[in-house]
Amino acid sequence: IETTCTLGAETSSHVSLRFGDTNSNDILVRHLNSKHVRRVDPLDPVVLDDIPRKPFQACMIDEFQVMGQCVESPICYLYLKLTGTDDWRPGFAQVQVLEGSHLSSNYFFFRRYLPRHVWHGLDVCDREVTPFGIKHKRKVFVKKPSKF
């Protein structure tokens, strides 16, 4: 996930991530800030692992590694959720599936301040071109039943 270089683009608020494939395999990662793996300087692609710092700083790309259910088709939607009091302006996000690069996503571009406390992102899974424009099927997220 890249944070833009705009003044005030960084955040210390909690960021959550939700992504999935066309088969409704939905992966939800709450408090992504705590799963930080490394940062990369976009102008000088050197991994800066040895410098302790918070994720989502301006002009940086942060990498995270999460374990989740398997995806069966390419990742086609991605949403971010900002929970806190300060703003954040991500540039782009991408999901790379380690066991199958053909399942990895394209880039999802944001380049604007995210609204707080709502999922904000892109869904390019089920779209149909009509004479009136592109029609998207509405995605409804349901909670999975918990086991007792």
pLDDT tens, residue by residue, 32-68: 877 666 666 565 555 555 555 688 999 988 888 888 7
Is 33:41 a contact under the CB 8 Å cutoff? no
> Which pLDDT score is estimated for 69?
80
Is 97:17 a contact under the CB 8 Å cutoff? no
Tell the residue number behind the tokens 């604007």, with chain if given.
Answer: 112
pTM over 0.95: no
> Which pLDDT score is estimated for 137?
60
Which amino acid belongs to residue 123?
D
Comparing C-alpha atoms, which of 89, 96, 85, 74 is closest to residue 25?
74
Which residues of the chain are under the pLDDT cut of 70? 35-53, 127-148
How far is the C-alpha of 47 from the C-alpha of 101, rounded, in Å? 21
- Residues near 72 by Cβ (< 8 Å), separated by ≥ 6? 21, 23, 25, 103
